[in-house]
Amino acid sequence: MSKTVLITGASRGIGRACAQVFAQNGYSVAIDYNKSERQALELAQQLREAGCDADCFKADVSKSSEVRALVDWAMGRFGHIDVLINNAGVSLAGLLTDMTDTQWAEVRGVCLDGTVYCCREVLPHMVRRQSGCIINISSVWGVRGGSYESGYSAVKAGIIGLTLALSKEYAPSSIRVNCIAPGVIDTDMSRCYDLTALAQDTPLGRVGQPEEIARAALFMAQSGFITGQVLGVDGGFGM
Ligand code: NAP
């Protein structure tokens, strides 16, 4: 029986790369998307053509009812969820004093509420099997704090707190909960910034590729004695 990974926000960027890398490594892939339906359908089709069992479902992770429907769908379609990757995210730049309630609700809703809702729905299934692995995607800003990105930094730090707490709470059920804190990765999200300048600020002298985060996620999924960790995959940016 192949293992199943459920990835939120897998239509583009890091989530999409995770879907591809896990598929190449024998996983069945449940793809969540919100707005990018065409890309999600295309990805599922590509993965199926490559011999992987893959399918996609539209769910806005900031809405608990849609997350419930997503997990019900994934359980019905694949029978089990072995790995959950909470990747869906939106960024928010600007001074805290300029941030509107709507902007705060969006960044908190997608990044933090979404991660909480997905964990809450998937964990009972993992507990029943006494097995499972959750990988939350935080950010180097969640570790270090980013000037002009205080709202985003706050929710990404919240994801780290959630990871550490859940890793303790669910270790007795043999469920591992870890976190990846990417540095600057070349995706739609980061392309509105000056990537050349950010590469210069990165000790390795370049930005990362989505596949590099996906390979770190696969490593965490396959490393049965690692839990409660925050892995910086950032070219040294978080040092
Ligand atoms: P991206 O290219 O902008 O992709 C974001 C993904 O999140 C898309 O697939 C999008 O799906 C999905 N998403 C957004 N809102 C959603 C919602 N309400 N419900 C479900 N899915 C939603 O960004 P990325 O760079 O791959 O980011 C992935 C994760 O890495 C995020 O959590 C981000 O904060 C984190 N991160 C990124 C960087 C970086 O430099 N790129 C650095 C540190 C951390 P649709 O298009 O279908 O709506």
Note down pLDDT in tens along the chain; length 239 residues: 899 999 999 999 999 999 999 999 999 999 999 999 999 999 999 999 999 999 999 999 999 999 999 999 999 999 999 999 999 999 999 999 999 999 999 999 999 999 999 999 999 999 999 999 999 999 999 999 999 999 999 999 999 999 999 999 999 999 999 999 999 999 999 998 999 999 999 999 999 999 999 999 999 999 999 999 999 999 999 88
Q: Is residue 79 part of a domain?
A: yes
Q: Is residue 238 part of a domain?
A: no
How far is 128 from 145, CA to CA, in rounded Å? 37
Nearest CA to ligand 1 atom 23: 189
Q: Is residue 94 part of a domain?
A: yes
Strands (E) across the chain are located at 4-7, 28-33, 54-58, 83-86, 132-137, 175-182, 230-233
Q: Is residue 190 part of a domain?
A: yes
Phi, psi angle pair for 188, to nearest 5°: -55, -35
33 catalytically annotated: no
* Full residue range of the structural domain in which residue 190 is found: 4-232
- Please tell me the distance between residue 87's alpha carbon and the centre of ligand 1 in angstroms: 6
User: Out of 148, 152, 170, 193, which one is annotated catalytic?
Assistant: 152
- Please tell me the distance between residue 228's alpha carbon and the centre of ligand 1 in angstroms: 23
How confident is the model at residue 239, as a pLDDT?
83
Q: Is residue 237 part of a domain?
A: no
Q: Is residue 159 part of a domain?
A: yes
- Please tell me the distance between residue 172's alpha carbon and the centre of ligand 1 in angstroms: 31
What residues flank ligand 1, with Cβ below 6 Å? 8-9, 11-15, 32-36, 60-62, 87-90, 110-111, 137, 139, 182, 184-185, 187-190
Q: Is residue 68 part of a domain?
A: yes
CATH of the domain at 151: 3.40.50.720
Q: Is residue 239 part of a domain?
A: no
Count of residues making up the chain: 239
How far is 163 from 115, CA to CA, in rounded Å? 10
Question: How many structural domains compose the chain?
Answer: 1
How far is 136 from 27, CA to CA, in rounded Å? 18
